[in-house]
Structure 1
Amino acid sequence: MSVSAPVWDPAQYLRHAGHRARPFADLLARVPELPSGQPRIADLGCGPGNVTTVLADRWPAAHITGYDNSPEMLERAAPLASGNLDFTLADVRTWTPDETHDLIVSNATLQWVPGHVERFSDWIAALAPGGTFAFQVPGNFDAPSHRLMRDLAVEAGLADTLRHEDAVLSPTAYLSALTSLGCEADVWETTYVHLLQGEDPVLDWVKGTGLRPVLTALATDAPRRNTYLHAYRTALREAYPATSHGTPFPFRRIFAVARKER
């Protein structure tokens, strides 16, 4: 099972929608004025579309398209479409703009795209002068949640299923890549400490994102799936102990905003 082909569960993903949307808001807060009064915007990896609507709120005159390769996610997003907001099936690994854009944005998607930095040149070339390419990706692949996930996947014979530490670059490497393409770049990182509620909330969180390849690979093998989840649940409880107020879940993210020269 390839890490590029998990089956997504929009309802599971949206269970932590508030926490997941905050980094996108922080990313957009650093996006400068766009060059057009009626901008063309692409949201790469739009998922269920809940944050794509934030783009429409900020730029109501924009034509916005959300792209995703998950039919399940696009089905959930479809009711959000309006006159200037639409959603379409596309693979970020091969998507190349066929028109000029004022903003190309991606929220927690590029970590699923091996070699995604190689796509930057095509995307930036499609920006209007003064246009912006902005993205955020998780930077927590060395966190206990992901290390334990990988270790147990190896024990389960799924060593090649999950992404590894090299799924994303360092902030410095992203800065170098973007400035070498002629952009003025702002790159930073933030560690959020999400206070999650409920029973086994860290497991519940990763079931909507990072654990999807394992859940997909074991979808038809209930005994192996249950064995894996039992071991992972036990390890997560020790790594992220609950408190009387909830379970603290530190989550590091990397942000980049690159503005093309005018």
Structure 2
Amino acid sequence: MEWNPTQYAQFSDHRSRPFFDLLGRIPQLDPTSIVDLGCGPGNITEVLAQRWPQAQVLGLDSSPEMVARANAVAAAENLSFALADAASWDVPEGTDLLVSSAMLQWLDGHQVHLERWLRQLAPGAVVAIQVPGNFTSPSHAVMREVAQSPRWVEKLRGVLRHGDAVADPSDYQQLFIRCGLEADVWETTYQQLLTGADPVLSWVRGTALLPVKAALSAADYLAFEDDYRAAIAEHYPSFTALDGQLLTNFPFRRIFMVGRKN
């Protein structure tokens, strides 16, 4: 599955806002070693390097395209990026702060891996994570319905993640506590305003549609987009603002979890 950093960054303001809300709940600490797991193009990892200039900040991602983009634009001296497979990754000794923003949902059996990382953290270390919680929203549910339609079911069987790609907030709360962490867990639904024609399709092109694109030929993928565009339109009607701008309301639920190891 090939990530497109440019497409992903198209909605950078909307995608980065949950990170800043997460950052605001991190308790007071003076870290020397920070890891951003699933760093993407590195723009929010650089924020960590700026906030804690005394710390060495390492951004990790499984996408060569994302890591290449991050390395190309990295400016802070205390910032570096590298490739890593989260499924086999372990928390390095001495890590004071582990951050992960919108990554866990891509990892099969992510709660097992999360538990491993939480147990590997040293006493006093902090973890801060946010994941999307919109897998039952029309943007994703309709995509799965189109993939299961007679036209696509054979080519896309088992490709898309289902509504249980992430857990309930209470599950994460209990996991943190079982692993010896204080647990600050909450959820927020952002009423995002997207602009232009087919904005929901443009949004999911950068994330949720990537497995479909990887599984289909170029021609079939464009045909799938057409089917999805027709099916999703009624769920996200556009409206015109006073200045004539075309807007679409796109509710987006996010789940947050912050904890310090006791």
Q: Which of the five TM-score ranges fits, normalised by the shorter chain? A: over 0.9
- Map of 1:233 onto structure 2: 229
Aligned counterparts of 1:149 and 1:20: Cα–Cα separation in 2? 20
- Provide structure 2 residue ranges, at least 5 long, that are not aligned to the other structure: 242-246
- The number of aligned residues is 252
Shift of 1:115: 1.3
User: What are the equivalent positions in structure 2 for 1:167-182 lying under 5 Å apart?
Assistant: 167-182=165-180
- Provide structure 1 residue ranges, at least 5 long, that are not aligned to the other structure: 1-5
TM-score (norm 2): 0.93
Which deviates further from its counterpart, 225-234 or 204-213?
A: 225-234
Identity %: 52
- Map of 1:3 onto structure 2: none
Shift of 1:151: 1.1
- Map of 1:191 onto structure 2: 189
Give 1:80's aligned amino acid. V
- Map of 2:32 onto structure 1: 39
Which deviates further from its counterpart, 9-18 or 92-101?
A: 92-101
- Map of 2:212 onto structure 1: 214
- Map of 1:224 onto structure 2: 220
* DSSP 3-state at the match of 2:250: strand
Aligned counterparts of 1:69 and 1:152: Cα–Cα separation in 2? 28
8 Å contact kept, 2:118–2:176:
no
Shift of 1:112: 0.5
TM-score (norm 1): 0.93
8 Å contact kept, 1:102–1:131:
yes
Give 2:229's aligned amino acid. R
Q: C-alpha deviations, 1:125-153, integer Å up to 9, x for none?
A: 34332211111011111000000111111
8 Å contact kept, 2:134–2:140:
yes
8 Å contact kept, 1:74–1:88:
yes
Aligned counterparts of 1:126 and 1:85: Cα–Cα separation in 2? 23
- Map of 1:139 onto structure 2: 133
Shift of 1:38: 4.5
Aligned counterparts of 2:183 and 2:89: Cα–Cα separation in 1? 22
8 Å contact kept, 1:131–1:259:
yes
Aligned counterparts of 1:38 and 1:83: Cα–Cα separation in 2? 16
Q: 2:85 aligns with which of 63, 77, 91?
A: 91
8 Å contact kept, 1:42–1:67:
yes
- Map of 2:19 onto structure 1: 24
Aligned counterparts of 2:196 and 2:85: Cα–Cα separation in 1? 34
- Map of 2:98 onto structure 1: 104
* DSSP 3-state at the match of 2:259: strand
* DSSP 3-state at the match of 1:206: helix
Aligned counterparts of 2:179 and 2:72: Cα–Cα separation in 1? 37
Which deviates further from its counterpart, 96-105 or 201-210?
A: 96-105
* DSSP 3-state at the match of 1:214: helix
Which deviates further from its counterpart, 124-133 or 237-246?
A: 124-133
8 Å contact kept, 1:104–1:123:
no
- Map of 1:153 onto structure 2: 147
Q: C-alpha deviations, 1:5-37, integer Å up to 9, x for none?
A: x21010000000000000000001000012xx3
* DSSP 3-state at the match of 2:2: coil
* DSSP 3-state at the match of 1:129: coil
